[in-house]
Amino acid sequence: MAYEIKYRITAATKGDTEAKVYLYEDGYEGEIIDYPCTIYQLQVVMWGEKRGIIQNSDSKTQLLKAFSEMGELADAITKRDRDGIVDGLGDVLVCLTMVAAIEDVDLKHCFASAYEEIKNRKGYLNREGVFVKD
């Protein structure tokens, strides 16, 4: 397994929606790493570490779990079950957070990168559900 707990939290500040976590790598005596993340992202990663999910799972397994959760989300959307939709979206996000932690990828960077890729796209989705490029 490639993942191991590399950092220890030395301090954390909490804003309304974002946490700033100060980390140090075991054995490293240099500058402390400043890692901004959402509070819930940090809590989910810590939850996954406490249960051995991040250390003992792999990204393929967590992705398959996300697909399973997407099936439940699709069922909730079909039934117009608002609570089920909220639960399903949350479950998918937890699985994707596990994938990001296992792969050591920053989710905020992924989101920003995706936006940078699409932000200048022209076009619209028509009433038939077809995206029409300008």
34: its two tokens? 């400043």
Question: What is residue 4's predicted lDDT score, i.e. its pLDDT?
Answer: 46
CATH of the domain at 99: 1.10.287.1080
The boundaries of the domain holding residue 29 are 7-120
Number of domains in the chain: 1
Map 15-42 to HEC letters. CCCEEEEEEEECCCCCCCEEEEEEHHHH
d(CA 51, CA 74): 28
Determine how many CB atoms are found less than 10 A away from the CB of residue 45: 20
Residue 132 lies in a domain: no
Position 102, amino acid? I
Looking at the chain, list the stretches that DSSP marks H as alpha helix, in order from N- to C-terminal side: 39-50, 53-56, 59-79, 82-103, 107-118
Residue 125 lies in a domain: no
Residue 126 lies in a domain: no
Answer yes or no: are the C-beta atoms of 24 and 15 closer than 8 Å.
no
Task: Render pLDDT for 26-63 as a digit per residue (tens, 0 to 9).
Answer: 554 544 444 556 677 878 888 888 888 988 999 999 99
Task: Render pLDDT for 70-103 as a digit per residue (tens, 0 to 9).
Answer: 999 999 999 999 999 999 999 999 999 999 888 8
